[in-house]
Structure 1
Amino acid sequence: DHVLKYLKKHQRGEVKALLCTSVEDYTPSDVNLEDFFQNGKYESEAARKSDLPQWVLDALVKGKLAPFISDALVLRSTFLHVQVENMQRPSAHSTALPIRQIIYGLLLKVSQNTETASSSKQSNELPVVCEFDRLQKTLKKTFVQAASPPTDFYDDHFSLDKLMEVPESCRQTLLLDTLGVNMSFLESIPSHLQLPVAVTCYWIRCSEPKVTLHQLKALLLMMVSGELHRITGDPDPTVSRAEDDSIAYNEFLKWKEKKPQNKDFDLDAAHSFCQWQCCLQMGFYLNQLLCSPLPEPELTRLYSGTLVQRLYQELKSTPSVENLFSLSPKMTQLYQVLLNTVES
Structure 2
Amino acid sequence: MAILFSTDFASIQTWNSDGGCDISDKKLTTLKDRAREKIQAAHSLSVGGGGNVCPLLIREVFIQVLIRLKVCFVQSFSEADRDIMTLANHWNCPVLSSDSDFCIFDLKSGFCPLNSFQWRNLNTVNNTQDYYIPAKCFSLDAFCHYFSNLNKSLLPLFAVLCGNDHVNLPIIETFLSKARLPVSSKGRRYHRVQGLLNWLSHFDGPAEALDNVLKYLPKKGREDVKKLLYCSMEEYQPSQVKLQDFFCYGTYVCPDTLNLDLPEWVLVALAKGQLPPFISDALVLQRTFLHTQVENMQRPNAHRIAQPIRQIIYGLLLNASSNPENMSQKTVPSQPLAFNEVERISKNIKTSVVYAKQLLKDHSDLSKLIELPLARRQILLLEALKVNQVVLESIPALLKLPIAVTCYWLQSTEAKAKLCHLQALLLGMLMEPLQAIINCSGEEDPQAGGASMLYEELQRVKVPMRPSARLDLDTAHVFCQWQCCLQMGLYLNQLLSTPLPEPDLTQLYSGSLVHGLCQQLVASTSAESLLNMCPKAKQLYEHLFNATRSYAPAELFLPKAQSNSKKRRQKKKVANQSKNKVVTTSDTRQWYDRNNRFGLLMVESLEEHVETSELE
TM-score (norm: length of structure 1): 0.85
CA contact (8 A) 2:463 2:513 kept: no
* Shift in Å, 1:319: 2.9
CA contact (8 A) 1:284 1:296 kept: yes
* Shift in Å, 1:329: 1.5
What one-letter code is carried by the residue in structure 1 that aligns with 2:504? E
What one-letter code is carried by the residue in structure 1 that aligns with 2:316? L
> Residues 15 and 94 (structure 1 numbering): CA distance in 2 closer, same or farther, change over 3 Å?
farther
CA contact (8 A) 1:315 1:322 kept: no
SS at match of 1:101: helix
Question: Residue 256 of structure 1 aligns with which residue?
Answer: 459
* Shift in Å, 1:243: 4.2
Aligned partner (choices 420, 429, 435) of residue 214 of structure 1: 420
Task: Write the deviation string for residues 235-266 of structure 1: whole angstroms up to 9, x where unpaired.
Answer: xxxx44654234433443255337969x8631
* Shift in Å, 1:148: 1.8
The 5-angstrom pairing of residues 112-127 of structure 1 reads 118=334, 125-127=335-337
CA contact (8 A) 2:462 2:516 kept: no
- Determine what percentage of the aligned residue pairs are the same residue: 48
> Residues 209 and 181 (structure 1 numbering): CA distance in 2 closer, same or farther, change over 3 Å?
closer
What one-letter code is carried by the residue in structure 1 that aligns with 2:306? A
CA contact (8 A) 2:462 2:517 kept: no
* Shift in Å, 1:327: 1.9
Q: Which stretch shows the higher mean deviation, 332-341 or 243-252? A: 243-252
* Shift in Å, 1:10: 5.2
CA contact (8 A) 1:287 1:294 kept: yes
Task: Write the deviation string for residues 140-180 of structure 1: whole angstroms up to 9, x where unpaired.
Answer: 1011100022x3xx337x51000011111111001000101
> Residues 313 and 115 (structure 1 numbering): CA distance in 2 closer, same or farther, change over 3 Å?
farther
Question: Residue 508 of structure 2 aligns with which residue?
Answer: 302
Question: Residue 244 of structure 2 aligns with which residue?
Answer: 34
SS at match of 2:429: helix
> Residues 225 and 209 (structure 1 numbering): CA distance in 2 closer, same or farther, change over 3 Å?
same
What one-letter code is carried by the residue in structure 2 that aligns with 1:303? Y
Q: Supply the distance in 1 between the matched residues of 2:461 and 2:342 (Cα, whole angstroms).
A: 41
> Residues 155 and 87 (structure 1 numbering): CA distance in 2 closer, same or farther, change over 3 Å?
same
Residue 244, structure 1, aligned to residue 450, structure 2? no
> Residues 30 and 181 (structure 1 numbering): CA distance in 2 closer, same or farther, change over 3 Å?
same
Aligned partner (choices 247, 258, 270) of residue 60 of structure 1: 270
Q: Supply the distance in 2 between the matched residues of 1:312 and 1:321 (Cα, whole angstroms).
A: 10
Q: Supply the distance in 2 between the matched residues of 1:138 and 1:295 (Cα, whole angstroms).
A: 37
Q: Which runs of 5+ in 1 are unaligned?
A: 119-124
Question: Residue 475 of structure 2 aligns with which residue?
Answer: 269
What one-letter code is carried by the residue in structure 2 that aligns with 1:29? S
Q: Supply the distance in 2 between the matched residues of 1:14 and 1:206 (Cα, whole angstroms).
A: 55
What one-letter code is carried by the residue in structure 1 that aligns with 2:402? P
What one-letter code is carried by the residue in structure 1 that aligns with 2:299? R
Q: How many residues of Structure 1 are paired with residues of Structure 2 in the alignment? A: 325
Aligned partner (choices 194, 203, 218) of residue 12 of structure 1: 194
Q: Supply the distance in 2 between the matched residues of 1:196 and 1:155 (Cα, whole angstroms).
A: 27
Q: Supply the distance in 1 between the matched residues of 2:352 and 2:403 (Cα, whole angstroms).
A: 30
> Residues 194 and 165 (structure 1 numbering): CA distance in 2 closer, same or farther, change over 3 Å?
same
Question: Residue 591 of structure 2 aligns with which residue?
Answer: none
Question: Residue 299 of structure 2 aligns with which residue?
Answer: 89
* Shift in Å, 1:330: 1.2
Residue 100, structure 1, aligned to residue 310, structure 2? yes
What one-letter code is carried by the residue in structure 1 that aligns with 2:279? I
Question: Residue 146 of structure 1 aligns with which residue?
Answer: 356
CA contact (8 A) 1:244 1:327 kept: no
Question: Residue 28 of structure 2 aligns with which residue?
Answer: none
What one-letter code is carried by the residue in structure 1 that aligns with 2:193? Q
Q: Say which structure is richer in helix.
A: 1
Question: Residue 282 of structure 1 aligns with which residue?
Answer: 488
> Residues 148 and 214 (structure 1 numbering): CA distance in 2 closer, same or farther, change over 3 Å?
same
CA contact (8 A) 1:215 1:269 kept: yes
Q: Supply the distance in 2 between the matched residues of 1:27 and 1:171 (Cα, whole angstroms).
A: 43
CA contact (8 A) 2:382 2:404 kept: yes
Q: Supply the distance in 1 between the matched residues of 2:408 and 2:470 (Cα, whole angstroms).
A: 28
Q: Which stretch shows the higher mean deviation, 160-169 or 39-48? A: 39-48
* Shift in Å, 1:14: 3.7
What one-letter code is carried by the residue in structure 2 that aligns with 1:244? Q
TM-score (norm: length of structure 2): 0.49
Q: Supply the distance in 2 between the matched residues of 1:228 and 1:193 (Cα, whole angstroms).
A: 13
Q: Supply the distance in 1 between the matched residues of 2:408 and 2:302 (Cα, whole angstroms).
A: 14
Higher Cα radius of gyration:
2
CA contact (8 A) 2:441 2:447 kept: no
Q: Supply the distance in 2 between the matched residues of 1:115 and 1:9 (Cα, whole angstroms).
A: 59
SS at match of 1:50: coil
SS at match of 1:197: helix
CA contact (8 A) 1:221 1:322 kept: no
* Shift in Å, 1:311: 0.4
> Residues 184 and 321 (structure 1 numbering): CA distance in 2 closer, same or farther, change over 3 Å?
closer
SS at match of 1:141: strand
> Residues 308 and 3 (structure 1 numbering): CA distance in 2 closer, same or farther, change over 3 Å?
farther
SS at match of 1:319: coil
Task: Write the deviation string for residues 106-142 of structure 1: whole angstroms up to 9, x where unpaired.
Answer: 001399xx89873xxxxxx531111000111110101
Residue 70, structure 1, aligned to residue 280, structure 2? yes
What one-letter code is carried by the residue in structure 2 that aligns with 1:318? S
SS at match of 2:430: helix
RMSD across aligned C-alpha pairs, in angstroms?
Answer: 2.9
CA contact (8 A) 1:78 1:131 kept: yes
